[in-house]
Amino acid sequence: MQLPAGSALDRLLVTGGCDATVSVADFRKIATAAASALKGTGARTALCALAGTRVEGADLAARIRTLLSAVSLAVYRYDSYKSTKEPAAALRSVAVLTDKRGEKTTRAAVREASALKQGFDFARDLGNEPPNVCHPTYLLQQARMLKQAGKMGRADKVKVSALDEKKMTELGMGAFMSVSRGSEQPGRMIIIEYKGGKRGEAPVALVGKGITFDTGGISLKPGPGMDEMKFDMCGAASVLGATRAIIEAKLPINLVTVVAAAENMPSGRASRPGDIVSTMSGQTVEILNTDAEGRLVLCDAITYVQKYKPSAIVDVATLTGAIIIALGSHASGLYANDDDLAEELLGAGQRTGDRAWHMPLWDDYQKQLKSNFADMANIGGREAGSVTAACFLARFAKEVPWAHLDVAGSAFQGGAAKGATGRPVGLLFEFVRARAQG
């Protein structure tokens, strides 16, 4: 298309499908297609007019966040360990066209979208790191960098600390230590406190499974595909990414993030099937399968985070292969002991396209965790594996609204597209952003 003489624009990218009111899902597809095409033009700067599209159920701010998120995901790349790197995306900045009435809303939405990009990139980078680099101590080092996030004095509202193995043993975290003790890499319980809300206001708690490599332990996994077990810390990566985005966006809310970081290895010190351990809560667990280790580190983390008296706990974990059989890669599995909390998370997923599906958490499944020798077993048999894993975790969150996101199918991809997706950073950020708005 020929542009008018003297125009500040070099070329025009026309996106179809916007001539009528569209659904949120269709608008997201339009934004994704436009972002992909924009990346291919080689343009360094762009002015986007799609924010004016009529989208059912999405205000101006939501449309802008969707547009800019699509662009940031399109230009992401990870080639830290390649000796010959592909040329970086030429695109450096994207401006959003708006009128005077929408200027304030647009500026705020752009700031949030920029913060979300930082969070997504952080999560994906962590997930893609090789396991000889990304171990529990490395995750702690990266978490400490969050003190530098959120310029303009916001870093003083961030505190990063950690429990070492000695302290976790003193606190009675026998479940966590049963996983960590098999590895030469020491485990860490990483705690990030962000005080962006009112003083004394109960925080939202995010808990992430950070198994930096999962061999299965003594219940050793098969060799093919085991390289993908570096992604078993993607739950931790996502809560760290969401935390970074929340800090960068300066959301007015209190947040505590806990990462249960350990490596699951077979050794002379590793747990055996049949071992019985005591959790921080005092409940005992018979370990029938050492490859069901995520729930063992998470149960102690969920117990620990309750010392902060949170208004809600959301844990995120690549917990079970069973959820992949149930939902594939399109949705994360959502379990909750509180229907209102579940609806908040489902709504956040719908608004961002980072969707979850509400799974049952019925008492009927609890009997599968029966042990003849301890309070519970760490597995419940072949049937409903993701459900019984959630039922296990639910036993440690009876006194507080709690939800569990099983992201084993959504947090990373295999095959030719192998890599971390960053999910569910978008869902978590939107959930916390909506809470901050009240």
Percentage of the residues of the chain whose pLDDT score is greater than 70: 97
pLDDT of residue 152: 46
Tokens (6 digits) for 435 = 């809470």
Q: Model confidence over 385-412: pLDDT tens digits?
A: 999 999 999 999 999 999 999 999 999 9
Please tell me the distance from the alpha carbon of residue 209 to that of residue 314, in angstroms, as a whole number. Answer: 11
pLDDT of residue 273: 98
Please tell me the distance from the alpha carbon of residue 334 to that of residue 345, in angstroms, as a whole number. Answer: 8
Report yes or no: 330 and 317 within 8 Å, Cβ to Cβ.
no
Which candidate, 236, 180, 179, places its Cα nearest to that of 209? 236
Judged on CB neighbours under 10 Å (0-12, 13-18, 19+), 137 is middle
Non-local (6+) Cβ contacts of 199 within 8 A are: none
Residue numbers annotated as active site: 221, 295
Lateral strand order in the sheet of 376-377: 276-278, 284-286, 376-377
Q: Is pLDDT at 238 greater than 70 in this prediction?
A: yes
Report yes or no: 327 and 409 within 8 Å, Cβ to Cβ.
yes
Q: Is pLDDT at 12 greater than 90 in this prediction?
A: no
Instruction: Taking residues 153-173, report their average pLDDT.
Output: 90
Which letter does DSSP use for residue 220 in this model? P
Angle at the Cα of 66 (from 62 to 67), degrees rounded to 5?
120
Q: Which pairing describes strands 419-420 and 188-195: parallel, antiparallel, or unpaired?
A: unpaired
Q: Kindly report which listed range (49-63, 375-389, 405-419) carries the lowest average pLDDT score.
A: 49-63
Tokens (6 digits) for 307 = 């010392």
pLDDT of residue 1: 47
Long-range contacts formed by 382-388: CB under 8 A, 24+ apart: 384/322, 385/320, 385/321, 385/322, 386/319, 386/320, 386/322, 386/323, 386/326, 386/333, 386/359, 387/322, 387/335, 387/359, 387/360, 387/361
Instruction: Taking residues 282-289, report their average pLDDT.
Output: 98
Q: Model confidence over 309-342: pLDDT tens digits?
A: 999 999 999 999 999 999 999 999 999 999 999 9
